[in-house]
Amino acid sequence: MTAVEIAAAVRSGQRSARSVVDEYLGAIADGDDDIHAFNLVTAAQARARADEIDATVAAGRDPGPLAGVPVALKDNLCTRGVPTTCSSRILEGWAPPYDATVVEQLRNAGAVTVGKTNMDEFAMGSSTENSAFGPTRNPCDPSRVPGGSSGGSAAAVAAGFAPVALGSDTGGSIRQPAALCGVVGVKPTYGLVSRYGLVAFASSLDQIGPFTATVADSAAVLDVISGPDSRDSTSIGDAQPPVADTLGDGVDGLRVGVLSELSGDGISPDVAARLQAAVGALETAGARVAQASVPAAVYGLSAYYLISPAEASSNLARYDGVRYGLRVDAASTPDMNTATRSTGFGDEVKRRIMIGTYALSAGYYDAYYGKAQKVRTLIINDFASVWEQFDLLVSPTSPTTAFSLGERTADPMAMYMSDVCTVPVNLTGQAAMSVPYGVGDDGLPVGVQIMAPALGEAVMFRAAAVLEASLP
């Protein structure tokens, strides 16, 4: 059943929330030893919450639009009293004293959180292999990675452990794993969804968004989690119209650009062929398709891998052995800080902190961080002119299908290349999503990325619905 179907059945009393939650907890118990999508399953809490929802229905009160829908949360979303690890040793033993806004919104809508999902440590990675707790496997082929950094969330939905999961996307961490696992993944416009209670990686880029099996389910979840929040100063002040209402409006007359810089060089031929098929489907549905060019997009990856580590080096300074989780004692406070951080952080996190500190240091600031910010402005300007001619842009989400475990761990550059198609819209703050569109030569899922201007979610979802309906 889809999330929308579950909510309808629970709301009407046709199915109990408890039976739904028991079914998904059963699937996790049966299957997650092989996949490792979850760091923690909160089964008792989930059952208790489901019983509350059933009592609300029995009393004739409104249980909310997502009544009884099980939701898995990426383990960088704060949950009150429940460990939130970011898949890092440095948060060992820490539990947040508050819930993230999105967690509150989901609960108020009747959803039932079932656990916390595995991820690359502090969301740094593209394969979920940078977890202190071991990798997650791709449910479509357990010898492959699920993508990352929200690989546990993508795998949870793909494996049928939860109809909905939340992830975070700083450079592609929702869209890329969604593509590799064959599910829908959405990175909303910067500021549309509150980040209060999301552990910060790179604050000018981070966004929270849903993973689901269907486009309509993602729309339903986005409508619940979007909206202003006074506790996040970057939150957009005006509420937006629900995207679910216009889902069926089609693409007739819409101008769709195929983004040349992200669709040619380095894209595997089978992935490129699936993009062409998707473009054909949009044309058949009445869209006017042409090539589009955003010349500065080719610098996206370089700018991203300076700006995001720079921000991360600052955000991660708070893990000092005093305020959170792990402490490794030593003779002096500075030695304790060093011992704690040396033990608590994994290699990739250390690499990012060093790159970021270097890019921000006196003497190198202008050449690296300052230059990257100028490139970011160029990319924003190039997209702005393209939006004068197009309503939507499309590209592959990932240059390849899911790669094998271990294939790219020894080569950080090869790993970073996984994000070449997804990072540009994080730099601009625009909306984007990945929709599964068939399989590659290896039989593994391919995702098509749809990009929209800021707050263009409604139009973006219309195109996503057309693509989904055009699949056999």
Q: What residues are annotated to the active site?
A: 74, 149, 173
Nearer to ligand GLN, 66 or 123 (CB): 123
Contact positions vs ligand GLN (CB under 6 A): 123-126, 149, 168-173, 201, 308, 419
User: Which is nearest to 386 in space by CA: 297, 299, 300, 303?
Assistant: 297
**Cβ neighbours of 449 (radius 10 Å):** 29
Least Å distance, CB 172 to ligand GLN, is 5
Q: How far is the CB of 12 from ligand GLN (least distance, A)?
A: 38
Backbone angles phi, psi at 289, to 5 degrees: -105, 140
Q: Would you say 168 or 315 has its CB closer to ligand GLN?
A: 168
Closest Cα to residue 242, out of 271, 221, 261, 215?
Answer: 221
170 or 218, CB closer to ligand GLN? 170
Where does residue 77 fall: left (phi above 0), alpha (psi -120 to 50 degrees), or beta otherwise? beta
- For 2-37, give one letter per residue: b (16+ CB within 10 A) or e: bbbebbbbbbeeebbbbebbbebbebbeeebeebbb
Among residues 218 and 308, whose Cβ is nearest to ligand GLN?
308
Strand order from edge to edge, sheet including 184-187:
38-41, 112-117, 70-74, 164-169, 207-212, 184-187, 431-439, 445-452, 392-396, 255-259, 288-292
Find out whether the peptide bond into 404 is cis, omega within 30 degrees of 0.
no
- Tokens 């402490």 belong to 327
Q: For the CB of residue 125, give the shortest distance to ligand GLN in the complex, in Å.
A: 5
Instruction: Tell me how far, at minimum, the Cβ of 45 lies from ligand GLN, in Å.
Output: 27
Q: Which is nearer to ligand GLN, 50 or 154 (CB)?
A: 154
Here the tokens at position 323 are: 């305020």
And the tokens for 225?
């989690």
- Chain-centroid distance, C-alpha 15: 30
Cβ-based nearer residue to ligand GLN, 18 or 74: 74
User: Would you say how long the chain is, in residues?
Assistant: 472
Helices 215-225 and 457-470 cross at an angle (nearest 10°) of 160
Compute the least distance from the CB of residue 299 to ligand GLN, in Å: 16
Residue of this chain nearest to ligand GLN (CB atom): 173
Nearer CB in complex with ligand GLN: 47/350: 350
Short-list 23, 47, 46, 43, CA closest to 160: 23
Instruction: Tell me the closest approach of the beta carbon of residue 394 to ligand GLN, in angstroms.
Output: 20
Rounded to a whole number of angstroms, the minimum distance from the CB of residue 88 to ligand GLN is 14
